[in-house]
Amino acid sequence: MSNINPDAARLAAALQYAHDHQDQALEELKSLVRIPSISNDKSCKPEMERAAHWLIEQLQQLGFHKVQMFQTAGAPIVYAELLTAGPNKPTALIYGHYDVQPAEPLELWESLPFEPEVRGELLFGRGASDMKGQIVAVLAALNALAQTGDLPVNLKFLLEGEEEVGSPNLDAFIISHAELLSSDFVLNPDSGMVSQDHPTITYGLRGIAYFEIRVTGPDHDLHSGIFGGIVHNPAQVLCELIAGMHDAAGRVTLPGFYDQVRPLEDSERAELRRLPINEVYYRSQTGCSEFFGEEGYTLIERATARPTLEVNGLLSGFTGEGSKTVLPARAMAKISARLVPDQDPYEVQRQLSQYLHEHAPSTVRWEMTLHSAGYPSITDLDHFAIKAMQQALEDTWGSRPLVKREGGSIPVVASMQKHLGLESVLAGFSLPEDGAHAPNERLHLPTFERGVQALVRFFTYL
């Protein structure tokens, strides 16, 4: 942004303020990390309240006029809004979670997990990176803007305390508070960078449909010497059914599986090729020397932007030491499909059922259950908030940010899309080596500082 105008001067002032108050942001982060808000530990219930109150206090100091704590069956949800920018400006809904993973195994920590300690350029402590550091970065950026002028956008916060235990009460809250949460997009900084030199925006997440298939043959386990050759073995049947779920080109054969899959645009494929994630990377991560998958797609496309079907577990017959000549009565498989836009997990359930109806022999009985279902999500790369984030990251790091899809799922993103019609900008400043969920979790402070600068720009460019 080289043209000199009042906006540029205003931005420069906010960036300067953020820079000058970096120590203050770090002290605030330390005080939040000191609260052991471990969501899966029932004895931490008062700590969850403390962390929620800490956030409420910060938001009040920032001038948020409506700051509320909503009790749920689990940890409280903090909501806040500041709509002073006016109806002509967009409203950003900022999502975050203030809970953390347990710190065990404690003996592997070099400093106490809830006594934050700076060593060199790193701040050590549980939650420093995932994601208290990300929340404090947003608060620091907003504070810098608020201290140097009017806030350029309308803001809402939704901060939950149960992300690390699967957000059991969040969906119901979102559905019952749709009007309160209405906004133009979601900023979700619970997402990381590919490396400290590569600011990254995640714009797509896969959904999931998780199944169990049970095949039953005889009414009890049989002697394979007496009945083998006349009784159709359920283990064999299940293996044949599973083998038929992919064709020779690595494509999933469930009827209609690809019908709703949105094709990858050429521009998108070009962006994915820029990622430093290639065959060498996947070799180092897996120990595999050769790879499998759908023909016509690169590894990163197969792993993040194409749907898959995987066997997660198989169980049948005798699996102990030595030998036992049994013809098992039943066989079971756990199977999950990762889904991309615009697939629907319940539609995939129907497709798997149809496949089994068409292919299972009449010599056995079968049943299938759906264990869990989650929708895929994607944010349009032309969305104005994505554009603003791209520009903010580029102006901060001096290089065009990477955009990537994630092979896994972040349910809150799909939930925001489904229930509120909101797209999410997933851009945070954690690094792969931060050790989220592991002992010695750390935050890279220079990246944290850059993150604050990038967020100041982002809110301004909106």
* 131 part of the interface to Zn ion, by CB under 5 A: yes
Stretch that binds Zn ion, among 9-17, 117-125, 127-135, 224-232 (CB under 5 A): 127-135
Of residues 190 and 301, the one with the C-beta less far from Zn ion: 190
Of residues 194 and 311, the one with the C-beta less far from Zn ion: 194
Q: Give the per-residue contact string, 280-319, with Zn ion (x = CB under 5 A; - = no).
A: ----------------------------------------
Task: Restricting to residues 178-207, name those near Zn ion by CB under 5 A.
Answer: 190
Cβ burial of 201 (10 Å; 0-12, 13-18, 19+) is buried
* 268 part of the interface to Zn ion, by CB under 5 A: no
Task: For residue 101, give the 3-state DSSP assignment.
Answer: coil
Of residues 186 and 364, the one with the C-beta less far from Zn ion: 186
Tokens found for residue 248: 């020779």
* Closest distance to Zn ion from the beta carbon of 435 (Å): 13
Of residues 345 and 411, the one with the C-beta less far from Zn ion: 411
Of residues 191 and 391, the one with the C-beta less far from Zn ion: 191
* 340 part of the interface to Zn ion, by CB under 5 A: no
* Closest distance to Zn ion from the beta carbon of 101 (Å): 9
3-state secondary structure the chain: CCCCCHHHHHHHHHHHHHHHCHHHHHHHHHHHHCCCCECCCHHHHHHHHHHHHHHHHHHHHCCCCEEEEECCCCCCEEEEEECCCCCCCCEEEEEEECCECCCCCHHHCCCCCCCCEEECCEEECCCCCCCHHHHHHHHHHHHHHHHCCCCCCEEEEEEECCHHHCCCCHHHHHHHCHHHHCCCEEEECCCECCECCECEEEEEECEEEEEEEEEECCCCCEEHHHHCCCCCCHHHHHHHHHHCCECCCCCECCCCCCCCCCCCCHHHHHHHHCCCCCHHHHHHHHCCCCCCCCCCCCHHHHHHCCCEEEEEEEEECCCCCCCCCEECCEEEEEEEEEECCCCCHHHHHHHHHHHHHHHCCCCCEEEEEEEEEECCEECCCCCHHHHHHHHHHHHHHCCCCEEEEECCCCHHHHHHHHHHCCCEEECCCECHHHCCCCCCCEEEHHHHHHHHHHHHHHHHHC
* Closest distance to Zn ion from the beta carbon of 267 (Å): 30
* Closest distance to Zn ion from the beta carbon of 261 (Å): 28
DSSP E strand boundaries for 340-440: 365-374, 377-378, 402-406, 424-426
Stretch that binds Zn ion, among 128-136, 140-148, 200-208, 438-446 (CB under 5 A): 128-136
Q: How far apart are CA 131 and CA 349, in angstroms?
A: 34
* Closest distance to Zn ion from the beta carbon of 99 (Å): 9
Of residues 134 and 316, the one with the C-beta less far from Zn ion: 134
* Closest distance to Zn ion from the beta carbon of 130 (Å): 4
* Closest distance to Zn ion from the beta carbon of 98 (Å): 10
* 137 part of the interface to Zn ion, by CB under 5 A: no
Count of chain residues binding Zn ion (CB under 5 A):
3
* 130 part of the interface to Zn ion, by CB under 5 A: yes
* 406 part of the interface to Zn ion, by CB under 5 A: no
* Closest distance to Zn ion from the beta carbon of 379 (Å): 18
* Closest distance to Zn ion from the beta carbon of 441 (Å): 11
Stretch that binds Zn ion, among 125-133, 298-306, 343-351, 447-455 (CB under 5 A): 125-133
Of residues 303 and 426, the one with the C-beta less far from Zn ion: 426
* Closest distance to Zn ion from the beta carbon of 97 (Å): 6
Of residues 38 and 364, the one with the C-beta less far from Zn ion: 38
Of residues 190 and 449, the one with the C-beta less far from Zn ion: 190
Of residues 357 and 437, the one with the C-beta less far from Zn ion: 437
* 162 part of the interface to Zn ion, by CB under 5 A: no
Per CB under 5 A, residues contacting Zn ion are: 130-131, 190
